[in-house]
Structure 1
Amino acid sequence: MANSSLRRKILYSLYLFIVVFALLEILLRIYNPLNFRIRGNQILLPINQKQIINNKINPKLDPVITNSRNSLGFRGPEKPATWNDHLTILTVGGSTTECHFLADNKTWPYQLGQQLNPYFKNLWLNNAGFDGHSSFGHQVLLNDYLIKLKPKMILFYAGINDMENDQPTFHDELNRKGGYSDLKHYIFNNSEVLNLGLNLVRGWRAQKMNNTTNTMIDLSKGKVKIMTDQQIAVRKGQQQKYLTSYQQRLGQLIDTCKQYGIMPVFMTQAILFGRGNDPVTGVNLETFDTGQEMNGRCLLAVLELYNDVTRHVCAQKNVPLIDLSTLLPKNSSYFYDGAHFTNTGALKVAEIITPELKSVISRNFHSFAYE
């Protein structure tokens, strides 16, 4: 009797689970209020969306921020009708490229376009950055959309989201042209319920890795963390397995671009921390506790390993590189946290990139230069 009763309870619980799962699946297919950008391994672009952000927590940002997406799902002007007659450029990266909490006309890609406009005719520049994207996401975006769009140039800003990011997990692996590597991937790509759970986990993981953009670091309230050279060397030594796969992913991005006639340009990742004192607050940027058991000096030392990979791969494959990590001064007026730019910072970044990119464009697309 006891075994029979237990069996009935298990079967009833299984029945309830299946019914609830099926109902949730139906409801989420009708209406999904969270509007995630990634479904399984496929990126769903936020087409024709406009978001008004009322900022009450971060004094370094505008109180009201407008974030708009065009019919391509990117930030910037609509796709020109005469595509081939335009100098088409896309910026690809994570949240430090998207600049989610900067207004449409204050992101560094927008400012870059404005500063390049006087030098080149028919310039079309769009921001294809997405919060949380690493080089895994860049490759999916490239495969799913960008090689079909075929801009003349893609400017990649990568590095920080790839730190300690190893080989693809089941939700990072790439599915090209709708293919599924196994049953597990097929289920996750086609179930709204499982996709919802997967994206909630992704969001939690991104927040844990300090990739969110709605917070602010108050340097004056930070803690001091002293690390010895040996401690930093140990943390750097832990990066090798990640660096090897990162190098492979960057090489794949470059090879894909070249295969489809797109010119890749890369930028090294800049952060606030790592060297000297902040000129605004006087806080020591080397001993500031950045979390994840690292101080500023250690964080920069680790990030520079990834930047070195970018430098090496670009040199090896003869790809233009803009070394923003070196060129952007350490100044808290440019950042509202460790990596994300304020309005002032975005403008400064555009001012640094403009002459570098202007030179690259002039050499490779001279027909678009004004006489």
Structure 2
Amino acid sequence: MLRIVTINLIIFTCLLIGLELIFGTWFSSTHALHQFTKPRNIALERANPLGDVPPVVHYTRDANGFRGLTSDVSEIDLLTVGGSTTDQRYLDDTATFQAQLAKRFAEDGRDIIIANAGIDGQSTFGHIANFSSWFSHVKGLTPRYILFYVGINDALIVSSKPEYDAIEATGKLRRIQLFIREKSAFYQLYLIGKQAMRPAEESHQLSHDNFALPGSALTDRSTLSPDALDTHEVTQALQTLRDNITTLAALTREMNAIPIFVTQRSTAWTRQDGRVVGIQQISPGFLNRYTARFGPINGVDIHAIESRIAAAILDACHTADAVCFDLMQDVTFDLARDFYDEVHTNAEGAKRIASYLHDQLEVLDGF
């Protein structure tokens, strides 16, 4: 009996190996990104978690990890880099600000090829790592412009966040694991089956916590002490951000591309009659990263912090002679209509961003 079981196990193992050798990619050239730990080769279809239109959302990334690219990488005009506000994982491929920006230019009679390289959670530390661990491995990648939509994930940080910013595997075991995933036919079959059996997601409930909405109790007074944003810790974090912007501009030019930097904002504040007003106290959520440092604060305080971050970005941007767009100050959002949480825009918000970028880029010399 044991002998029969052993023989069957040997036959079964040989069969599996044979199938792997036939259907796997063990004898093909290893993809340049086989140690890339971020999403690629993805095609997801799911009910719209925002309860918006379209009812079904398609989220795709190609073999190089780019979202929304319909042409060869050598034809990219604009490569967009950022965190989740650039990735826009809950928006359909056709609803991101990149897709809507390309549509605006198409309506002008111009075909502008845009690729989305947003990575959820990435800060400027991760964007810097992208150049050596990602972009340099994409054969033929020669964008004319690289647009960095940054600020939210650089919330007064002084070092990288490995769980978000590291995009290349470290350690032999992890590299071997990713190599096998890259080559194995059975692993690819597993991914297909996993997606097919994926349970329906619960409807995403919109939360307007930390939204400075009309009719809400708002304040125009800061709770931060006058010198709270002038401490050594804050000054160091802002200088680190300036240094990272300078590095990104230099790396972009090494690719013979032109760097563009765009500032960001949250929903904790708005403007009324020329005044900045904000919610009276920040609730638990994304903006906890500020309350953890400063204690209880309000929306006016958030505006002051975000203004410092934006100023640091623009200062380094101008010093590097890059293209600088101050979306934080220039764009008036309808917070209730354009955002689905504290920092992420829905399709309407993405449309507003696309419109702003279109108007800025179309008058940019040489674009």
TM-score (norm 2): 0.68
Would you say the 8 A contact 2:217–2:279 is kept in 1? no
2:255 matched residue in structure 1: 260
2:106 matched residue in structure 1: 117
Cα deviation for residue 103 of structure 1 reads 0.8
Alpha carbons of 1:271 and 1:258: their partners in 2 closer, same or farther (altered >3 Å)?
same
Map 1:81-120 → 2, pairs under 5 A: 83=74, 86=75, 88-119=77-108
Cα deviation for residue 192 of structure 1 reads 6.0
Map 1:141-220 → 2, pairs under 5 A: 141-147=130-136, 148=138, 149-168=141-160, 186=171, 190=175, 216-218=207-209, 219=211
Which of 200, 215, 225 matches 1:231? Answer: 225
Which of 328, 341, 344 matches 2:348? Answer: 344
Further displaced range: 268-277 or 165-174: 165-174
Q: Give me the whole-angstrom Cα distance separating, in 2, the residues matched to 1:78 and 1:261.
A: 22
Which of 265, 268, 276 matches 1:273? Answer: 268
Cα deviation for residue 229 of structure 1 reads 4.7
For structure 2, which runs of at least 5 residues remain unmatched after alignment?
A: 1-34, 179-203, 292-296
Further displaced range: 95-104 or 42-51: 42-51
Identity %: 23
Which of 45, 49, 57 matches 1:52? Answer: 45
Would you say the 8 A contact 1:225–1:288 is kept in 2? no
Q: Give me the whole-angstrom Cα distance separating, in 1, the residues matched to 2:108 and 2:134.
A: 28
Q: Give me the whole-angstrom Cα distance separating, in 2, the residues matched to 1:289 and 1:99.
A: 24
Q: Give me the whole-angstrom Cα distance separating, in 1, the residues matched to 2:307 and 2:266.
A: 10
Q: Give me the whole-angstrom Cα distance separating, in 1, the residues matched to 2:227 and 2:267.
A: 21
Alpha carbons of 1:60 and 1:301: their partners in 2 closer, same or farther (altered >3 Å)?
farther
Q: Give me the whole-angstrom Cα distance separating, in 1, the residues matched to 2:53 and 2:280.
A: 26
Which of 109, 121, 130 matches 1:132? Answer: 121
Q: Is it true that 1:334 corresponds to 2:338 in the alignment?
A: yes
Cα deviation for residue 297 of structure 1 reads 1.2
Q: Give me the whole-angstrom Cα distance separating, in 1, the residues matched to 2:282 and 2:247.
A: 35
RMSD of Structure 2 on Structure 1 (CA):
3.4
1:198 matched residue in structure 2: none
Cα deviation for residue 78 of structure 1 reads 3.1
Would you say the 8 A contact 1:336–1:342 is kept in 2? yes
1:67 matched residue in structure 2: 59
Q: Give me the whole-angstrom Cα distance separating, in 2, the residues matched to 1:94 and 1:190.
A: 24
Alignment: residue pair count: 287
Would you say the 8 A contact 1:90–1:155 is kept in 2? yes
Cα deviation for residue 109 of structure 1 reads 0.9
1:80 matched residue in structure 2: 72
Q: Give me the whole-angstrom Cα distance separating, in 1, the residues matched to 2:109 and 2:76.
A: 8
SS in 1 for 2:113: strand
Cα deviation for residue 118 of structure 1 reads 4.1
Would you say the 8 A contact 1:216–1:337 is kept in 2? yes
Please give the per-residue CA displacement for 1:64-85, whole angstroms capped at 9, x wherever unaligned: 322112232221133328x3xx
Q: Give me the whole-angstrom Cα distance separating, in 2, the residues matched to 1:263 and 1:59.
A: 38
1:132 maps to a residue whose letter is G
For structure 1, which runs of at least 5 residues remain unmatched after alignment?
A: 1-41, 179-184, 194-212, 279-283, 366-371
Please give the per-residue CA displacement for 1:144-180, whole angstroms capped at 9, x wherever unaligned: 232452211111101110113212366688799x9xx
SS in 2 for 1:261: coil
Q: Give me the whole-angstrom Cα distance separating, in 2, the residues matched to 1:164 and 1:214.
A: 29
Further displaced range: 120-129 or 228-237: 228-237
Alpha carbons of 1:54 and 1:247: their partners in 2 closer, same or farther (altered >3 Å)?
same
Please give the per-residue CA displacement for 1:90-126, whole angstroms capped at 9, x wherever unaligned: 1111111111111111111110111122446452111
TM-score (norm 1): 0.67
Cα deviation for residue 338 of structure 1 reads 1.6
